[in-house]
Amino acid sequence: MSEERQIILLLILVSAVGVGGVAAVTLAYRMPSLNGGVSIAGYEAVLYLNGTLHESYVYDVEAPGRYRMFYRTWDAPLVRREEDFTSILCVGIEPPVEGAYIYVKDYTGDLWVNPYDEGVRWEIMELAYPNEAGVFYPKYYAPGSYRVGYTFILYPPIEYDDEAVHLNLKLASEHLAYRDVKITIMDAGKVEAVYLHPPTLKVRRGEDRIIVEGESPEDQLLEVELLLKRDVLPEVRGFPSRVEHVAMKTRIANLLYSVPYHAAKVLRYASYMVLAAIPALLLTLYVSYGRERSSTVPKYLSYVPSGRKPWLVNLVFKGDIGDFDEDGLYATLLDLQRMGKVKIKVKEPGRGGGSGLLIQVLDTRGDDDYEERVLRFFAEHSSGGFFDTDEVKALLEEAKEMDYPPRRLRDIKRGLDALTSYRNKRVSSIFAFSGRGRVARLLLIPGSLLALGLLVTISSSHIWRETWPAMLLSFMGLLQVGVGLAFPSTLFGRWKGDYYKEKMEWDAFRNMLSDLARIERYAPQDLSMWGEWLIYGTALGVGDKVAEAMRRLKVEIPNLEDLTMLPVIMHPVISTPIVTKSSASGGGFGSTGGGFGGGGGFGGGGAGAR
């Protein structure tokens, strides 16, 4: 594939990753929150400073015959009469349908049901939790929308000093998702400041009320913290206690609480920008450092471009420069057979029907470092003058019954791994400059955002709902750079001298060998040409195509079947891992309120359905 096509493909893939990340975040925000077929479309609350709280929940039921209870729980003690401790008094419940039973199960577990029915009472007693109020409909709710209303009188802890009164109310902590939230705080003229938890909620002031709007995902904290004028204290129900510097403590606590949210917002916008910037940065790197001079090379080439060693062709010209694989070993063995330094022979099929391979080393002197490694390996691991693949397979089978593999097997597998993952940076550097380091440096950008997102998340237990988009998008940015790293390193580097032209010639030669219709046009009598084609085709990963054409044309090369079966028989020997008894068995491992800032409010709980 030409470099122009490579960069176009890369930009398409990288952009697709970015678009996919943005789409995932967008869909997650817009997806309706259904908890097993029920959701809360709207939550409205009206709070009076005297402690009266009116709540309204609109349930959307989609699953028929599944739900018969809508309820509201509290973390604070729920009572049915005024007590001498911080508590919440339920004074009214509005059922959504006729025939529904309203109930209150207080903090002691005592249950009140209206209208009274002993059978219904026992059912509710089994299902409801302490500190729970709700409505029970024995016939189950049909799909549709239902409104449930509650009226409570709050007796919260209150902090005050000579200048201000502090009230922190937690309206929800464990609940279904509230798609639309509207909280109205009456007597706005008596409120000095409002702090919202989370701070992503919107607030606006009217003449006599303060309105808070937004949404509350499942189990997210929903809290309003108020600083009131000092003269309001006698009007507020609850249990006051004197705390010095109330206003300062409230402001500091909320500043510390809001910083992670603002940081999450900045990180989210920054991650969007990074996803858009990475494709542009990759294109800039290509234009600045990777674009090669144009060379004219035909699409198909029928001759071997140069007389380079097959292993070097595999190392430099098959894929990315420096990436060596087992095809390089197969091609080298075929070339050594051609030079008379090894002899390759397929054994007669055994009783199981499979054939093994014998490799005999006739001359241990190679022309270069890699050839000498190959010859030395097969000579050292020969038995009776031959390297026998059946012997290796037998050792692999024997190892399955052992706790530790035999040393001979470990040495053979280690040697084969070294021969099929050969690295020679000195040789690779002769042909091209690698640009992979330039691309790798881009990992710092999304990686830094991801690390910051994790730090912000760790800093606050409530913030993960705000930081996950930034972390997901940052991860997608890392994936974008990872796609760039997966492409050939020369895409962002340059070939030296005329080696880029030679690379294109090897690509053209591989194109020809991959096309059976073209390769079959050539006469089978030129045995040296077909021998070269088989060797270099194997080095380039298309040796099977050449072998198939040779069989069809009945090219009469000595030991053709032995040569063409080399990769087929050797591959299982190379790729099969060592498995022992120990490795096969494996193993495993086995709201009291009264606080300042987010999460310190009185109340908690929230709405649910069962």
- How far is Cα 113 from Cα 375, in angstroms, rounded to an integer? 90
Provide mean pLDDT across the span 442-447.
93
Q: What is the CA radius of gyration of the chain?
A: 38
Q: Token digits for 421?
A: 């993952």
Per-residue CA distances from 351 to 329, 354, 460 (Å):
29, 8, 68
Q: Residue 113: its pLDDT value, please?
A: 92
- How far is Cα 472 from Cα 467, in angstroms, rounded to an integer? 9
- Work out the percent of the chain whose per-residue pLDDT is above 90: 33
Residue 56: pLDDT over 70:
yes
The tens digit of pLDDT for each residue in 77-125 reads 999 998 889 999 999 999 999 989 999 999 999 999 999 888 889 999 9
- How far is Cα 311 from Cα 331, in angstroms, rounded to an integer? 7
CA 478 to chain centre: 11
Per-residue DSSP letter, 418? H
CB atoms within 10 A of CB 253: 19
Is residue 474 within 8 A of residue 271, CB to CB? The reply is: yes
- Among 402, 424, 406, 426, CA closest to 414: 406
Strand 202-205, strand 239-242: pairing: unpaired
Find the largest Cα–Cα distance for the chain.
111
Who has greater pLDDT, 548 or 28? 548
Q: Residue 528: its pLDDT value, please?
A: 78
What is 538-596 written as a DSSP string?
Answer: HHTT-HHHHHHHHHHHT---TTHHHHHHHHHHHHHHHHPPP--HHHHH----------S
The tens digit of pLDDT for each residue in 382-414 reads 988 899 988 888 888 888 888 788 888 889 889
pLDDT band at 458 (very low <50, low <70, confident <90, very high): confident
The tens digit of pLDDT for each residue in 584-608 reads 444 433 355 566 555 666 667 777 7
Per-residue CA distances from 512 to 157, 529, 537, 548 (Å):
84, 14, 10, 14
For 94, phi and psi rounded to 5 degrees?
-105, 110
Q: Residue 601: its pLDDT value, please?
A: 66
The tens digit of pLDDT for each residue in 368-384 reads 999 999 999 999 999 88
Residue 504: pLDDT over 50:
yes
